[in-house]
Amino acid sequence: MSSVSMEQFDSYLAARNLSPNTIQSYDYSVKQFYTLYHRLTASNLRAYKLYLLEHHKPQTVNLRIQAMNAYLRYRESPISPVSLVRVQNKTFLDRIISQADYEYLIRRLYEDEKFTYYYIVRLITATGVRISELVTFRVKDAAAGEKDIYSKGNKMRRVYIPTRLKDSLLEWTGREKRQSGPLFLSRFGTPLTAGGIRVQLKSFAHCYGLNEEVMYPHSFRHRFAKNFIEKCGDIALLSDLLGHDSIETTRIYLRRSSTEQAAIVNRIVKW
């Protein structure tokens, strides 16, 4: 597939309000398909699906299939779309950092004067922002105590920084004599990237003896959601705060983790 064709495909996707990350993922899928099969045919698409099933989890398989189906629509191909694989919903929600581990982590980060990451973890857990959104925060947003974030489809939601965290952030940036610019900087004074934050969180997991499986940015967004629904119970408000397209997406936070399920069964079942 030529670079010109890929640029046209990207324009097609962008016109349909797909995010840059999604477009990049779709590009990867199409390039992978052509690397493996060279020609766009129904049989090659079926073979690609089997290849994906052998090498990836169902969620990844469906993402790749969605990309190819979008490419079929872009090409106005007569080939029928490829069916997605069925992903069985779990009745529990795992891979979320526990409240105890979260509190231990921020205590250690503060004690070790890792203030940038201390505030990164606190801000995600206090607001539920995505990592791609967090890296756009500026000092002025901390001063305002809120930030308007635009997502795909040009939808806007307002992120509120709790007053106690806002005051702490301003005290920190004041000590560093930063009145403007990006809120989170590397030791070189450049804006932190989402990838760099992910790598550093894994490093902290090793350093502090925490489970690497729950040390990733979205884990703290999940922790915000779990804490919010447990203390407030307003799932519609939580959906708005998280920027979900549908309240059904938010309902996952009503589920228990497998550890919580086991504890409830052990407490209740006495027969």
| Domains and their CATH numbers in the chain | 3-75 (1.10.150.130), 99-265 (1.10.443.10)
- In this predicted structure, what is the pLDDT of residue 56? 87
- In this predicted structure, what is the pLDDT of residue 262? 74
String of DSSP letters for 24-79: HHHHHHHHHHHHHHSS--HHHHHHHHHHHHHHS-HHHHHHHHHHHHHHHHHHT-SS
- In this predicted structure, what is the pLDDT of residue 89? 57
- In this predicted structure, what is the pLDDT of residue 185? 95
Is this structure's pTM higher than 0.85? Answer: no
- Per-10-residue mean pLDDT, the chain, length 271: 75 91 93 93 94 88 94 94 78 77 96 96 95 94 93 79 96 94 93 94 95 93 91 87 83 72 76 72
- In this predicted structure, what is the pLDDT of residue 33? 95
